[in-house]
Chain A
Amino acid sequence: MKNNILIIGGGPAGLESASQLQRMGYNVILIEKSPKLGGHLAKWDRLFPDSVPADEVLGGLLRGAEGVKCFTDTDVRAINRLDKSYNVRLTNGITVLSDAVLVASGFDLFDAVKKEEYGYGVYDQVMTNADLEAYFKTGTDRRIENPGKIGFAHCVGSRDEKAGCRSCSKVCCATAVKQAIEMKQAFPNAEVFCFYMDLRLFGRHYEDIYLKAQKEYGVRFIRGRVAEVSENYDGTLLVKAEDTVAGKPLKVTLDLLVLMAGMRPSGVGKAIGDLLEMPVEEDGYFAVRSGIAASQRSPIPGIFLAGAATGPKTLPETLADARAAAMEVDRYLTEIFPDAKNYKQLVKERW
């Protein structure tokens, strides 16, 4: 018997799980709320740490998921839990009877407008990491005109109780270092400053790009959080921080400030969570059965999770998580689900 599996979210996590589950012989239906597949990956230009083109990675994921029933511009309208399965009504009018649901709803980029003291949306020369990726992809942005001095503000909307997010977004230190290097490549005469509290370059090759940024590109790393930004008459920016290593307040005039907006739980993902009554943790991301031993299982039997829906992840982490989720779905559908008589007992013992 081929079970139906519904995957919610067509980003890297959803695509990779779809591809794996299809290989295992399941009948996969994937829905994506936006008009195209790829999630955030479709917005990035080159990826840290090795500058692999994002399109190349996305192309591979899309090829893997060929044959999967994908509905774009589609969300969930209503979900009913039957005895063991889910009856899901989609916004495109189709109803799916699904034996397992995999939530891969990903993240939203922190809305930098909320961090008023940085002036995003107010001062012309302030942009976000996502805006800069768009510039690298398209080659145009009205804010970028041979900038002489460029700053990167780390931890925007992350590690900040005032912004409602205590945790670290994990990907933005590496993104800042990557983008700092890319800006030096594009504008060799520019002076580039990174304002950080801790440089979290934890992954394989990450420290290498930090070293490269220092040694080959002369990027200045200043240990202090950007405290406030104001605009000068000529449109340049006055940025204030403390150089906590020197122990002195610091100011610098910049032509461009790039905000490392962090990751927040997906808004449309949350709406799905509400329909499914999925518990969330204090950080707003979906709760898992066990953070160590069962991090792709929701506390609700039959519901699985993959990717940034359970907290900030890099792409390799997201893809590994997606493959693990596929294994978990398979295990559930072969070991627990088919045994109608003992289903409740098995769930109690093994979920």
Chain B
Amino acid sequence: MVDFGFGLVPSSRINLDLFDKDKYRELVKIEPDARICMACGSCTAVCTAGKFVHTSLREAIEDILNAKNDKALESLQACQLCGKCSMVCPRGINTRHLILSINKVYSAK
């Protein structure tokens, strides 16, 4: 390893080498739409829970791909499953279903 002479707090860096392929494979098997998010942010913008507590499906999807599984779960913790995000998603993702699946796959240790 090259020592660049500065340190990084490990938790703030994205390390794609830590990406959990098995879990992701499990997720997209039940939820192929997890792959098609275009990160437009509409879900986050309209989120009813997000007004009070940080809640973001877009971020959760991103975090999973960036090997931050716990952070992904945190971003969905306050979700009320109200379904408002599914009404605005331009890719037509069944967002509530996706949220449930993310919780199911990534909560299981």
Tell me which of A162, A197, A227, A242 contacts B38 (CB under 8 A): A197
Shortest beta-carbon distance from A229 to chain B in Å: 11
CA distance A160 to B45 in the complex (A): 17
Report yes or no: A249 in contact with B40, Cβ–Cβ below 8 A: no
CA distance A43 to B79 in the complex (A): 46
Closest Cβ neighbor of B40 among chain A residues: A225
CA distance A241 to B43 in the complex (A): 9
Shortest beta-carbon distance from B59 to chain A in Å: 6
CA distance A64 to B47 in the complex (A): 55
Whether B42 is near chain A, meaning CB under 8 Å from some CB there, is: yes
**Interface bin, chain B:** 20 to 34
**Interface bin, chain A:** 20 to 34
Knowing A228-B46, A247-B56, the reply to whether A242 touches B90 (Cβ < 8 A) is: no
CA distance A244 to B47 in the complex (A): 14
Could you count the A-B residue pairs with CB atoms below 8 Å apart for me: how many are there? Answer: 60
CB proximity to A under 8 Å, residues B54-96: 56, 58-59, 88-92
Question: For residue A155, which residues in chain B have a CB less than 8 angstroms away from its CB?
Answer: 90
Question: For residue A227, which residues in chain B have a CB less than 8 angstroms away from its CB?
Answer: 41-43, 45-46, 88
Whether B105 is near chain A, meaning CB under 8 Å from some CB there, is: no
Report yes or no: A197 in contact with B46, Cβ–Cβ below 8 A: no
CA distance A83 to B5 in the complex (A): 80
Question: For residue B44, which residues in chain A have a CB less than 8 angstroms away from its CB?
Answer: 242, 244, 249
CA distance A241 to B90 in the complex (A): 13
Question: For residue B59, which residues in chain A have a CB less than 8 angstroms away from its CB?
Answer: 247
Whether B39 is near chain A, meaning CB under 8 Å from some CB there, is: yes
Knowing A227-B46, A249-B47, A249-B50, the reply to whether A244 touches B92 (Cβ < 8 A) is: no
Question: For residue B51, which residues in chain A have a CB less than 8 angstroms away from its CB?
Answer: 249
Question: For residue A160, which residues in chain B have a CB less than 8 angstroms away from its CB?
Answer: 90
Question: For residue A243, which residues in chain B have a CB less than 8 angstroms away from its CB?
Answer: 41
Question: For residue B45, which residues in chain A have a CB less than 8 angstroms away from its CB?
Answer: 224-225, 227-228, 240-242, 249-250
Whether A216 is near chain B, meaning CB under 8 Å from some CB there, is: no
15 residue pairs of the A-B complex, CB under 8 angstroms, read A117-B88, A159-B38, A159-B90, A162-B92, A197-B39, A224-B41, A225-B40, A225-B90, A227-B41, A227-B42, A227-B46, A242-B56, A242-B58, A243-B41, A244-B41
CA distance A250 to B42 in the complex (A): 11
Question: For residue A117, which residues in chain B have a CB less than 8 angstroms away from its CB?
Answer: 88
Question: For residue A250, which residues in chain B have a CB less than 8 angstroms away from its CB?
Answer: 45
Question: For residue A223, which residues in chain B have a CB less than 8 angstroms away from its CB?
Answer: 41
Report yes or no: B58 in contact with A244, Cβ–Cβ below 8 A: yes
Question: For residue A162, which residues in chain B have a CB less than 8 angstroms away from its CB?
Answer: 89-90, 92
CA distance A230 to B15 in the complex (A): 40
CA distance A297 to B45 in the complex (A): 45
Closest Cβ neighbor of A198 among chain B residues: B38
CB proximity to A under 8 Å, residues B1-44: 38-44
CA distance A227 to B58 in the complex (A): 13
CA distance A259 to B82 in the complex (A): 28
Whether A161 is near chain B, meaning CB under 8 Å from some CB there, is: yes
CA distance A225 to B51 in the complex (A): 18
CA distance A224 to B46 in the complex (A): 12
Shortest beta-carbon distance from B40 to chain A in Å: 4
CA distance A153 to B11 in the complex (A): 35
Shortest beta-carbon distance from A194 to chain B in Å: 14
Closest Cβ neighbor of B54 among chain A residues: A248
Shortest beta-carbon distance from A309 to chain B in Å: 25
Closest Cβ neighbor of A243 among chain B residues: B41
Q: Which 7 pairs across A and B sit closest by C-beta, in order of nearness?
A: A242-B41, A227-B45, A161-B92, A225-B40, A224-B41, A227-B42, A242-B44
Question: For residue B42, which residues in chain A have a CB less than 8 angstroms away from its CB?
Answer: 224-225, 227, 241-242
Question: For residue B88, which residues in chain A have a CB less than 8 angstroms away from its CB?
Answer: 117, 227-228
Tell me which of B41, B43, B91 contacts A161 (CB under 8 A): B91
Shortest beta-carbon distance from B84 to chain A in Å: 9
